[in-house]
Amino acid sequence: MSQPASNSSAASSASTVEDFKANLASIRERIAAAELAAGRATGSVRLLPVTKTVPEDRLRLAIEAGVEWLGENKVQEAARKAENLADISGLKYSVIGHLQTNKAKDVARFAHEFQALDNLRQATALQRRLELEDRSLDVFVQVNTSGEETKFGLEPTAVSTFLKSLPGLDRLRVKGLMTLAIFSTDHQAVRTCFTMLRELRDQVRQDAPEGIGLDELSMGMSGDFELAIAEGSTVVRVGQGIFGARALPDSHYWPGFAG
């Protein structure tokens, strides 16, 4: 399977604050255009810059250019950055990759958001650690909409039952659903994943427990965020479109992905 448009949609490598400002402005313009085209309100989509593999010295430039949210795939890398950038106030970390239960304590300590919740053991471990830290965490439930076995996330049919197991975990503020579309250059196949997440949300909302928020849909990355916005995305996770192509292959971040 080939890489989606993500590499061709990578920004050229930014190395100054001005470069980052220009890259951010261009992504924000494209988000606004996609909102308009979909008949959606301006500002209804949040840009989550994905900062994985970007070292702290370059991040400082991006932060100066306006980046406040840092989307990180790996807990260890995120924890290191939270420590090394602790002198900057107001930064918010969103962990968007698979979490092993034994790393829940790290996420509970520094993260503001966790987008890859997909099992009850993990949810329980997070609740316990958040109680110890006296913190709460915004969470998204990850759904596997592509049917690929290597992908993390709940099967769509399991989401409704899973949501019903969460209300007792009061440190987790459920905001919505998250997905990674299929890796394909076939736009229709990619779009089908986004449609599925939106329709699933509409369906599970009907009998979701009180307090479980389902307004948010985190879907869309550098190569496909316009399609995702057309399908109702409220959070787009954009890395290479801001920071340039990554040196490490995505298989390093997405186990099983051979791209």
Contacts to ligand PLP from residues 13-52, by CB under 6 A: 50, 52
Alpha carbons 248 and 191: distance in angstroms, whole number: 26
Q: Does 238 bind ligand PLP (CB under 6 A)?
A: yes
Min. distance of Cβ 97 from ligand PLP in angstroms?
5
Distance CA 14, CA 16 (A): 6
Distance between CA 154 and CA 116 in Å, rounded?
10
- Our finding on whether 214 is near ligand PLP (CB under 6 A) is no
Kindly state the tokens that stand for 134: 């006296």
Of the residues 24, 59, 96, 139, which one makes contact with ligand PLP according to CB under 6 A: 96
Of 77-85, 104-112, 196-204, 237-245, which part binds ligand PLP (CB under 6 A)?
237-245
Q: Which stretch binds ligand PLP (CB under 6 A): 32-40, 168-176, 208-216, 236-244?
A: 236-244
Any contact of residue 222 with ligand PLP (CB under 6 A)? yes
Task: Describe the chain by its helix, strand, coil percentages, rounded to 5.
Answer: 40, 15, 45
Shortest distance, position 153 Cβ to ligand PLP, whole Å: 10
Q: Is 146 in the site for ligand PLP (CB under 6 A)?
A: no
Options 111, 221, 227, 230; binder of ligand PLP; rule CB under 6 A = 221
CA 37 from centroid of its chain's CA atoms: 23
- From residue 162, alpha-carbon distances to 29, 144, 226 in Å are 37, 14, 29
Q: Is 184 a residue that touches ligand PLP (CB under 6 A)? A: no
CA–CA dist 234, 171 (Å, integer): 23
**Taking CB under 6 A as the rule, does residue 145 contact ligand PLP?**
no
